[in-house]
Amino acid sequence: MKKMGLDVGEKTIGVAVSDAFGWTAQGLTTIKWDENDYSSATKSIEKIINEHNIEEAVVGLPKNMNGTIGPRGEASQTFAKYLEKQFSINTVLWDERLTTMAAERVLLEADMSRKKRKKVIDKMAAVMILQGYLDANK
């Protein structure tokens, strides 16, 4: 069963997909969208689900450091419910605290320019979200 990892932001959604065995996560793309209009991402997500035979979506849940859920976390919860309803796939919310910072660190260590980092940071965060989930559920 293939899974899709999503790092949902206000303007972009980082996307990663698993291999067929659910062992590894690979960065796929970054979708530009308008958070106030879910339909702005619907076609892109539907295409990924169909092309990769996705059966489950792992949505990053940004929690505050004390474990509480703030506005960004609530937005991710709402988006996960939308995915379930719109595409009839199972969704899992996965604690993503510090994934964007970790992704930034990896890209800095790879000596990637700021301009290039900006283009791939969300995709890299999606990989870290999905890989964390895959590793925890082996």
What class has domain 2-137?
Answer: alpha beta
- Long-range contacts from 32-36, C-beta under 8 angstroms, 24+ separation: 35/9, 35/10, 35/11, 35/75
The pTM of this model reads 0.89
Q: What is the pLDDT of residues 64-103, one digit of tens each?
A: 878 889 899 999 999 999 999 999 999 999 998 767 666 7
Closest CA to 135 of 6, 24, 20: 24
8-17, 45-54, 98-107, 121-130: which has the minimum mean pLDDT? Answer: 98-107
Query: What's the rounded Cα separation, in Å, for the pair 40 and 42?
Result: 6
- Annotated domain spans of the chain: 2-137
